[in-house]
Amino acid sequence: MTNTDTIAAISTPAGTGGIAVARISGPAAIAIADAIWQGLPLSHAKSHTAHYGSVMDSDGGELDQAVATVFRAPASFTGEDTVEISTHGSAYVQREILNSLIKAGARMAEAGEFTRRAFANGKLDLAQAEAVADVIASQSREANRIAISQMRGQFSSRLQQLRDQLLQLASLLELELDFSEEDVEFASREALLQIARQVKAEVERLSESFRTGSAIKNGIPVAIIGATNAGKSSLLNALLGDDRAIVSDIHGTTRDIVEDTITIGGYTFRLMDTAGLRQTSDTIENLGIQRSVSAASNAHIIIALIDGSNPTLPQTPPTTASVIWAWNKTDQFPPTAASTDTIDCAISAKTGSGIERLKALLADTAAREAASHAGEILITNARHHQALLQSSQSITRVIQALEANISGDLISIDLRLTIDHLSSILGQITTPEILQSIFTRFCIGK
Ligand SMILES: Nc1nc2c(ncn2[C@@H]2O[C@H](COP(=O)(O)OP(=O)(O)O)[C@@H](O)[C@H]2O)c(=O)[nH]1
Ligand SMILES: [Mg+2]
């Protein structure tokens, strides 16, 4: 697939900035850049060199001083001839340089089109292209680390290995079929089963890493639960350093879940303030309480808040979450001797005392969850998760059939399916619709 048209876009964010970068990619990129350029002709420039000069507006007058960097095909991000022109970041200059480039023959790039071209030209596979978007979106050190490792192809090469193992399995089965009449055994079924079981175990491990991977990417869900008036909303505000949730001494004030994110120690957390748990006949409040229970059961971390003025232990719903027990209102009601064994920290949401310690506990808990996957590949993308679940189902059928000694031609259908699901992650099998839905989520200019 080669593109005959040349695209252009401003790759830096909209608005005024110190510098703005216009990007041009395609067969005519260098000629089009030259048409608006005054200085050493870029057509004479070597690949990977930067040049100082001026850019012209669409009427041919000098628009700005600029630096143009030339990348020649195939050694560029897109695999095509590319020029990046850095100008001063005025909103007017950005608009006008784009007008000039379009007048000179470029077309406005669509969202994600540079990356889509990189994929089409084999510079990246689909999982790596998606990781480019994740690197751009990453909000914390850990989310960034996962995205970078995927962009570099760590996950992709693991998938390639799995595919290779499955292809080996498929060819062994085919040999068995070709020579079935001659009653020779090429590979024992036991050897085939061993490969299939290895693949299944790895596919399932990858698929299970999604719980942690997506939490690190999107924010680790933390539910603050406790009785009404324990100070849950005050705690949310104290953690955020912002008046986000309504605080009042009226029981049952918080009804809907109030949510916001905070980054501590390299991890992003999605903090959820919930309705206090109590018996009430108020219909709306009861709906809020149901939401609290469901938020708490999906949370990876629960902060169970004890009201120092009326200490009862909140009922934590059945969950696999880590629970941090926090005693609140320590400014007026220090923890009782009996409670010190139960609680992890004593805080005052009002004065802020103990909040740093609670933040440290949150970061420690997140680091513990991440450490349980140390050295493993974490997946973060729902599309990849779905494809892994599907390949796990089909490889399970392969294993069952091998165990039942079913004929090879019946097994090869499910084997093919398993390979196809893994290939879809890398984009070796894809449809224009899938590509469209992936790349339109990118920003223009990437
Ligand atoms: N003395 C004291 N009062 C607090 C503290 N945290 C919350 N409160 C008070 O407790 C009441 C209930 O607080 P709120 O955050 O709305 O509790 P929620 O129902 O659990 O969300 C309000 O009057 C708060 O001012 C604290 O650390 N110390
Ligand atoms: Mg509240």
Domain CATH number, residue 171: 1.20.120.430
Residue 185 shares a structural domain with residue 101: no
pLDDT in tens, 64-113: 999 999 999 999 999 999 999 999 999 999 999 999 999 999 999 999 99
Residue 236 to residue 253: CA distance in whole angstroms: 14
Residues 313 and 272 in one domain: yes
pLDDT at position 282 is 87
Is residue 444 in a domain? no
State the distance from the centre of ligand 1 to the C-alpha of 248, rounded, in angstroms: 7
Ligand 1 atom closest to Cα of 349? 27
Residue 177 corresponds to which tokens in the numbers above? 């079929």
* Rounded Cα–Cα distance for residues 114 and 79 (Å): 10
- The model's pLDDT over 166-214, given as tens digits with 9 standing for 90+, comes to 999 998 888 777 766 666 556 688 889 999 999 999 999 999 999 999 9
Residues 117 and 249 occupy one common structural domain: no
Ligand 1 within 6 A of 274 CB? Answer: no
For ligand 1, the distance from its centroid to the CA atom of residue 323, given in whole angstroms, is: 21
Mapped onto helix, strand or coil, the DSSP state of residue 83 is strand
Provide the pLDDT for residue 181.
Answer: 64
Residues 206, 164, 77: CA angle, nearest 5 degrees: 75
Residues 261 and 163 in one domain: no
**100 is a domain residue:** yes
220 and 168 co-located in one domain? no
Q: What is the pLDDT of residue 121?
A: 96
> Do 24 and 94 fall into the same domain?
yes
pTM: 0.86
Instruction: Give the number of other CB atoms < 10 A from CB of residue 96.
Output: 21
For residue 414, what are the domain limits? Answer: 131-209+379-427
Q: How far is CA 15 from CA 88, 135, 136, 159, in A?
A: 12, 22, 18, 40
384 touches ligand 1 (CB under 6 Å): no
Residue 360's CATH number: 3.40.50.300
What separation in Å is there between the alpha carbon of 50 and the centre of ligand 2?
57
Low-confidence residues in the chain, pLDDT < 70: 1-3, 179-187
The pLDDT of residue 72 is 98
Q: Whose CA is nearest to atom 26 of ligand 1?
A: 329
Are 362 and 235 within 8 A, CB to CB? no
Q: Which is the closest atom of ligand 1 to the Cα of 254?
A: 21
User: Could you tell me if residue 201 is inside a domain?
Assistant: yes
Task: Say how many Å lie between the CA of residue 266 and the centre of ligand 2.
Answer: 28
